[in-house]
Chain A
Amino acid sequence: MKNKQIQNKKVQEKRKVFKKVFMKPGNNNQEDRLNFIKFWAEYIKTHSDEDWSKQQNIVIDSQIE
């Protein structure tokens, strides 16, 4: 619980420092996928674990009954 509070505080501080990042479209599918990976990694770094994992779980859980 304490760890979670500390992390949320750090994330909020990061958000104040970082500007909103936009994803650069790739010139082909492979480049576009790699650009998304960079964009998503930045999203993870600037949002709480709870925030990004909720979105990620939609992808993962869609495979499991």
Chain B
Amino acid sequence: MEYDVNKKEIILNRELSKLDKFVLDFIKILEKHIDYVIISGYVSILLGRTRATEDIDVFIEKISLEKFSEFYEDAKEQGFECINAEKTEEVFSYLKEGLAIRFSKENLPVPNFEIKFPKREIDKETFNDFIIVILPEGKLKISSLERQVAFKKYYLKSEKDIEDASHIEELFKDKLDYNKINKFKNIIKNIKT
């Protein structure tokens, strides 16, 4: 695994798991229509953390119903479904309300993608603070490692999240920007839960 901090790029020649293939299949459809960044648990798993997950969290850019419909039709054609509702308008209304919607392979609710619009300013900034992971069969956009560590360690804080953060810190300790992590830590302190 090679992390080029300046290029904001990780080259990862890993053997793909079934989960990675599921992610790449879905992202190939999503990115045709909507800008995205993968956040949270799957980022750590992609980078080697030995645990499973039922969902992959993704921020998508704010889009119109029309643009969302194009994506949703494409996803359905490729065998995915939304497990929250069937009608496009209803699914989109959840997104607009600030709720997360989930997509999975038809009739197979696990694993699934949890997709949402970023609400807070710090979350919106994720679209300018990402890394590209280059895999043997495609590319994925993930949130910066500093953002990942800070949110897991200082906001989510469950045992699982602390372990996810530790994995990234151990793996990239000589490349992480701890000033940036502390900046996030201070912003997170003021987030109302």
Measured CB to CB, the residues of A under 8 A from B are: 3-4, 7, 10, 30, 33-34, 37-38, 40-42, 44-45, 48-50, 52-57, 59-65
Query: Is B189's CB within 8 Å of the partner chain A?
Result: no
Secondary structure class of chain A's binding surface, majority of residues: helix
Bound CA–CA A17/B14 (angstroms): 23
- B window 5-62: CB within 8 A of A: 11-19, 22, 45, 48-54
A-B pairs with beta carbons under 8 Å apart, 19 shown: A30-B159, A34-B166, A37-B163, A37-B167, A40-B48, A42-B170, A45-B1, A45-B171, A53-B15, A57-B16, A57-B18, A60-B51, A61-B18, A61-B19, A63-B19, A63-B53, A64-B19, A64-B22, A65-B108
Task: State which of B14, B49, B54, B159 has its C-beta within 8 Å of the C-beta of A49.
Answer: B14
B170→A38 contact, CB < 8 A = yes
Contacts of B44-87 to chain A: CB distance below 8 A: 45, 48-54
Q: With CB as the reference atom, state the residue of chain B lying closest to A36.
A: B50
Q: Mark B133-177, 1 if CB is under 8 A from A, else 0.
A: 000000000000000000000000001000100110011000000
Given contacts A34-B166, A59-B52, contact A49 B17 (CB under 8 A): no
The complex places the Cα of A33 from the Cα of B19 at a distance, in Å, of 23
The interface of chain B, by Cβ under 8 A from chain A, is 1-2, 11-19, 22, 45, 48-54, 108, 110-111, 159, 163, 166-167, 170-171
Contact (Cβ within 8 A) B163 A33: yes
Give, as a whole number of angstroms, the nearest-CB distance from A60 to chain B: 4
**Would B22 and A53 count as touching, CB distance under 8 A?**
no
Question: Contact between A54 and B166 (Cβ–Cβ < 8 Å)?
Answer: no
- Please name all residues of chain A whose beta carbon is closer than 8 Å to the beta carbon of B15 when the two chains form the complex: 49-50, 53-54, 57
Contact A53 B52 (CB under 8 A): no
List 16 other contacts, CB 8 Å, given A3-B13, A50-B13, A63-B53: A4-B13, A30-B159, A37-B166, A37-B167, A40-B48, A41-B171, A44-B48, A49-B14, A50-B14, A53-B16, A56-B48, A56-B50, A57-B18, A63-B52, A63-B54, A64-B18
